[in-house]
Amino acid sequence: MRKAKRLVFPGKMQVEIEEFELPEAPGPGEILVENCYGLISPGTELAMFTETHVGFPLPEFGYAKFPFRPGYAAVGRVLQVGEGVKGVQEGDMVFTRAEHASHAIVSGEHPVLKAPGRLPAEHMPFVALANIALTSVRLSEVRLGHTVAVFGQGLIGNLAAQLMRCAGARKVIGIDTVPERLAISTQCGIDVLVNPAEDNLRSRVDDLTDGAGCQIVVEATGNPQVAPEAIRIAAQMGKVVLLGSPRGSAEIDLYFDLHRTGVSLIGAHGSRQADATQYGDPDPNALMLEFIADGRLQVAPLLTHTLPVSAADRAYRGLLDEKENYLGVLLDLRQWG
């Protein structure tokens, strides 16, 4: 067996390194990967790190439990290829959904994408987060000329805003209370940025839409208190997409906020993207890799830190407490201290 290392959350606000074993060689249909970088998912991983995921109190919800082994956005080098694997060979750099671990055995059940030669390896893990953001595009059925607002300009919100522009939105409004994140969104080409801590959001939206509101509103913060405001800036018959996993409940006036306006409220957990996939749609991971490689999705401005995996505690606490400085954080999975 091969000795390897990975991150684990043994309990609330704790992150440690543990050893585990992998087979020395991959089996049929598998590849052995030596991981290089893992991108922290600030939604899922912070919810688990802080024990705020809504599934923790539910015994039947098996996902939200300690110990938890984080990570699902990685890039690594293929060490060995199992029998029957096609399209990759030893030495290739590949995107995988591996944990934050030194090595991984990856089977055909999980997407493995070969790196385009022109793409920096550090940018490949963003495919996983872009794929989540794509859920808001496919479920909203955005049309050419729509005005879209996106609450939250973290990784998911920023990528959702960029993808809405790619999908034909006439105008995209990025909303966040952290000025540094709005500045990064400007670098990524988002049309209009609004800080509701400084400006009256509804007045700004009225000015930008001639009082009509936004045909599509994406809630990407996961803060349940934001959802009612998202609903109220939507246009008649508009769609509000809950992209960030809500961490609690919110009070909504069903009559004035939904019934009279005809606004649709759409849950957009990443697993729901398959519901909106039509015949002939390309693999979403491959599509997002292409968009990143071609520059249609800007990810370089989102990458604020690359830290050794031995500094994982600093990475998670930075994302939690220093949102003005930490946004996209890569863990160097070759540096275990």
Tokens of 175: 């909303």
Kindly list the distances between the CA atom of residue 284 and the CA atoms of 88, 162, 225, 270, 322, in Å, as whole numbers in the listed order: 19, 15, 30, 11, 31
pLDDT tens digits, residue range 68-103?
Answer: 999 999 999 999 999 998 889 999 999 999 999 999
Q: Record the tokens describing residue 327, joined without a space.
A: 């946004």
Greater confidence (115 vs 173) lies with 173
Where residue 280 falls among pLDDT bands split at 50, 70, 90?
Answer: confident
Predicted confidence at residue 329, as pLDDT, reads: 98
Q: What residue ranges define each of the domains in the chain, with the CATH number in brackets? A: 2-115+299-332 (3.90.180.10), 132-276 (3.40.50.720)
Query: Is residue 272's pLDDT more than 90?
Result: no
Q: Please give the mean pLDDT across all residues of the chain.
A: 94
pTM of the model: 0.95
Is the pLDDT assigned to residue 279 strictly greater than 70? no
Q: Burial code of 293-318, b = ≥16 C-beta within 10 A, e = fewer?
A: beeebbbebbbbbebebebbeebbeb
Helices (runs of H) and strands (runs of E) counted in the chain = 8, 15
Other CB atoms within 10 Å distance of the CB of residue 123: 24
Least trusted range by pLDDT, from 16-20, 107-111, 126-130, 153-157: 107-111
